[in-house]
Amino acid sequence: MTTADPIERTLSRSGYRLTSPRRVVLDTMRELGNHFTAEDVQHASPAVGRATVFRTMKLMRELGVICQVVLDDGTAVYQLADDDRTDHHHHVICTECGRVTEFASDGLEGELEHVASETGFDIDTHRLELYGRCADCHD
């Protein structure tokens, strides 16, 4: 059976089921939209235990289903990744309206491979957020 839902496909491909509690957490995240915290999800889905919310969000972050975004004030929030996007990407964040846009850059990834080679590090992960004003706000 093939599912049209990209998140269900991602879970299935990775060997996970979309259990009832995971479905509640996912539906809650969809309802909350962008810029939600784990506490927001927990409060909006009281039928699911706190530990289950945090474990589910951790799993979904590891699978690339949700992204952690650090706002310019240092607050860590989450958002659902673009549909079918589980590749590594970065964020451009508007400091006025909070709009978050995802982007990927082969050039940047190539530069990071160069840094790893030069330093002898085996780089596990990295995160890049760029801050500025979006086209709607910079006028």
The domain tally of the chain equals 1
Instruction: Tell me the CATH number at 16.
Output: 1.10.10.10
pLDDT tens digits, 88-121:
778 888 888 888 888 888 888 888 899 999 999 9
Domain membership flag for residue 138 = no
User: Comparing C-alpha atoms, which of 57, 59, 97, 96 is closest to residue 79?
Assistant: 57
Question: What integer pLDDT is reported at residue 76 of this predicted model?
Answer: 84
Domain membership flag for residue 139 = no
SS3 111: helix
SS3 40: helix
Domain membership flag for residue 28 = yes
The domain of 42 spans 6-132
Residues in Cβ contact with 137 at an 8 Å cutoff, skipping those fewer than 6 apart: 94, 96, 97, 99
Read off the pLDDT band of 126 (50, 70, 90). Answer: confident
pLDDT tens digits, 40-92:
999 999 999 999 999 999 999 888 888 888 888 888 889 887 654 446 778 88
6 CB-contact burial (10 Å; exposed 0-12 / middle 13-18 / buried 19+): middle
Domain membership flag for residue 115 = yes
- Specify the DSSP class assigned to residue 81: P
